[in-house]
Amino acid sequence: MKIHEYQARQLFRKYEIPVPEDVLCYTVSEVEKAARDLNRMVVVKAQVLVGGRGKAGGVKLARNVDEAVSAAKQILGMDIKGFKVEKVLVADAVDITKEYYVGLINDRNTKTVTLMVSSEGGVEIEEVAKTNPEKIIKFHINPLTGLLDYQARDIALQLFSDIKVAQKAASIFKKLYKLYVETDATIAEINPLVLTPDNEVLAIDGKMNFDDNALFRQPEILAMREPDEDELVEIDAHNKGLSYIRLDGNIGCMVNGAGLAMATMDMIKLYGGEPANFLDIGGSSSPQKVIDAMNILLNDKHVKAVMINIFGGITRCDDVAKGLIKAMEVISTDIPIVVRLSGTNAAEGLELLKQTNLPTVSSMSEAAQKAIELSRL
C-alpha cells in the first residue's frame, strides 16, 4: 500500500524526524492562505501516488504569495502519468547546503531490513545504483538487535565529517528504522535528506509503502489509504477473495493460482493476443467466487473474449463448472467464453458444462488460441 508524501511527513513528525513546516491544500485560495501564513519562500508540491513529479512539472518553488498562487493554478488539476493532481503540499523551502539519500527496504537475499544511504541525494536511487553504485552504502540490520547507536553513527560518519552533524543524521536513521518496523513498511525513503547552512539535518521529501499482508495489524496506516479508480476495483475484488489487476488488452482471463494466471497472460501474448487482466480466483472455488469474477471481467468494456483456465488441484473443476453455470444464468452477455478444465474432477466439470453453449478445450494453449480467434470475430 502506498501513501502520499504529506502522509509520510506526518509519520516522520510522529517519530520526531525533523521535517519543515507544511500545509496540505485542495484549492488555489487555500494555497494563497498557506503561503501567506508561512510568510517565506515555499515549495508547492503535487500530491500523487506516482514517482517523477518533479520532472513532470509538479513541484515548483515560489518566492512569494503571487508565485505560490500561480504555481498552484498550474499544478492543481494537472495530469501526472495518468494521475490527476487533486491536492498540493505547500512546504517551507529551506536553504540547502547539500542533499543526501536515506532509504530502508526489505532485502530478499539477506532476509533483513537494509539501510541504504548515499551522498547523491535528490535523484532517484535506481539512477545512482546504475551510474555510481559505489556511492551507495548498504547496511543489513540484524532484526534481533535493531539498528544500534554505533552502527548508525558509523554510517552517518561516512556521509558527514562533522561528528555533531553525523549524530543528528544517525538519530534520524534510527528513528526511521523504528518507524519502518513498527508500521510494517516495505519502503521508507527520505530523498533528499538535507544539510542546511546552519548545520541542521532535515527530511524534505518522504516516500513510504507498506506490507499489504500486515495491514490487519496497522489500522492507523490502513486509514491513510487513498485508492485510485483501478485500485478500488482491485480492493473490491480482494474483499471477495479474488486477486485482480486490470491491464490494457482485450482478452479477459480467469485462472486459479497466481503463477498459472501469469503464465496464462503470457500465453495469450505469445499467441498474438493481449490480456485484459490478471485474475486469480484462489484455492477454493465456490460458485459465488466464479460469479463475482465473471462480473468483474465483463464490467471491463475492453474485454472481447474470456478465457477460463482452471487446473484443479484443491480447486475442483466440477465446482467451477457449477459456478459458471450459475453465473451464466444471472449474467447475460454476448462476449464469447472459452473454458479449459483440467485436473481434479475435470471430466465431471466438462460433463456439467455440456448443458451450456460454452466451448471447452483441453489444454491452455488451445484455450488461448481459441480465445484470441473469438476476440477477432
Question: What are the catalytic residues?
Answer: 101, 189
Indicate if the alpha-carbon torsion angle 270, 275, 277, 279 is positive or negative: negative
Roughly what angle, to the nearest 10 degrees, separates helices 5-14 and 163-182?
Answer: 110
Q: Residue 39 is which amino acid?
A: N
* Of 222 and 247, CB closest to another protein: 247
Q: Between residues 252 and 275, which has the closer beta carbon with respect to another protein?
A: 275
Q: Provide, rounded to whole angstroms, the least separation between the CB of residue 12 and another protein.
A: 19
Rounded to a whole number of angstroms, the minimum distance from the CB of residue 105 to another protein is 9
Residue ranges that bind another protein, judged by CB under 8 A: 106, 108-109, 111-113, 126, 142-144, 181, 184, 186, 211-214, 216-217, 243, 245, 247, 255-263, 265-270, 275, 278, 280, 283, 311-315, 342-344, 363-365
* Nearer of residues 171 and 345 to another protein, judged by Cβ: 345
Q: What is the CA radius of gyration of the chain?
A: 26
Q: Which residues of 57-83 are buried (b: 16+ CB within 10 A; e: fewer)?
A: ebbbebeebebbbebbeebbeeebeeb
The SS3 call for residue 315 is: coil
Alpha helices by DSSP H, 158-257: 163-182, 219-222, 229-239
- For residue 2, the minimal CB distance to another protein (Å) is 9
Terminal Cα distance for the chain, rounded: 40
Nearer to another protein, 32 or 211 (CB): 211
Candidates 107, 106, 132, 110; CA nearest to 119 is 132
Q: How far is the CB of 367 from another protein (least distance, A)?
A: 12
